[in-house]
Amino acid sequence: MSTSQEKARLLRELHRPGDPVVLANVWDAASARLVAAAGARAVATASASVCWSLGSPDGGGADREQVLARTAQVVRAVDLPVTADLEGGYADTAAGVGETVTALLATGAVGVNLEDEGRPAAEAAERIAAARAAADAAGVPLFVNGRTDVFLLGLGAPEERLDEAVRRLRAYVEAGADGVFVPGVADPETIAALVAAVPVPLNVLAGPGSPSVAELAKLGVGRISLGPGLAKTAYAAVRQAAEEVYGSGTYTALDGGLTYPELNGLFTG
The pTM of this model reads 0.95
At 2 the pLDDT is 64
At 60 the pLDDT is 86
Sheet holding 82-85, edge to edge: 21-23, 223-225, 202-205, 179-181, 143-147, 111-115, 82-85, 43-44
Long-range contact set of residues 237-240: C-beta below 8 Å, sequence gap at least 24 = none
At 269 the pLDDT is 67
At 118 the pLDDT is 87
Cβ atoms of 236 and 228 closer than 8 Å: no
Give average pLDDT by consecutive 10-residue segment, the chain, 269 residues: 88 97 98 98 98 94 95 98 97 97 98 95 98 97 97 92 97 98 96 98 97 98 98 98 98 96 92
Topology (CATH) of 4-228: TIM Barrel (3.20.20)
Residue spans of the domains in the chain: they are 4-228
